[in-house]
A = this chain, B = another copy of it.
Amino acid sequence: MSDLRNDVGFLLTRASGLVVRATNAALSDLGLRVRQYSVLALADDSGEGIAQRDLAEELGLDPSQVVALVDELAAAGLVERRPSPTDRRPRLVVATPQGTQVRRRAASSAEGGVQRQMGDLSGEEQATLRGLLQRVVGGSVGRCRAGGELTE
């Protein structure tokens, strides 16, 4: 019962590693890695832009990691930093038109990579998995951050 192959934590990291590899391979044609894609996707989804701090919070990254990722995406012309109209501290990250286009293609490629890894699961099973994972993730937002303490 303490067998590693039945350990939910181990299975989670093992499955994650496999999916990340498959997704990175699928995105390599576009010159993107998963990390960059996730930043691009969030920036593209937030019409008026998203602060880097919120980006870090959503992705579970350290703010300093977001700096480098946005730098790379900006150098590739996929996103740009814009000032907030109401606060001069944050820098709102938005996707450029080219970024939106690349994101669309990347989403398709990434989906293919994920399906190569999860093809054995039916649509319904994947929905079940998604729901369970959302509760694991959502239940701890605010309880444990990247460099944060545990609230207990």
Residues of A within 8 A of B (CB): 2-23, 25, 34, 38, 41-42, 45, 58-60, 107, 110, 113-114, 116-121, 125-126, 128-130, 132-137, 139-140, 144, 150
A129 to B133, CA, bound (A): 8
Residues of chain B lying within 8 A (CB to CB) of residue A15:
12, 16, 133, 136-137
Q: How many whole Å from A137's CB to the nearest CB in chain B?
A: 5
Residues of chain B lying within 8 A (CB to CB) of residue A41:
2, 4
A38 to B123, CA, bound (A): 31
Residues of chain B lying within 8 A (CB to CB) of residue A119:
139
List, sorted by A's number, 28 A–B pairs whose CB atoms are closer than 8 Å: A2-B41, A3-B45, A4-B45, A6-B130, A7-B110, A8-B118, A8-B126, A8-B129, A9-B19, A9-B20, A9-B113, A10-B38, A12-B15, A13-B19, A13-B34, A14-B137, A15-B16, A16-B17, A18-B136, A18-B137, A18-B144, A19-B136, A117-B136, A118-B139, A120-B139, A121-B132, A125-B132, A128-B132
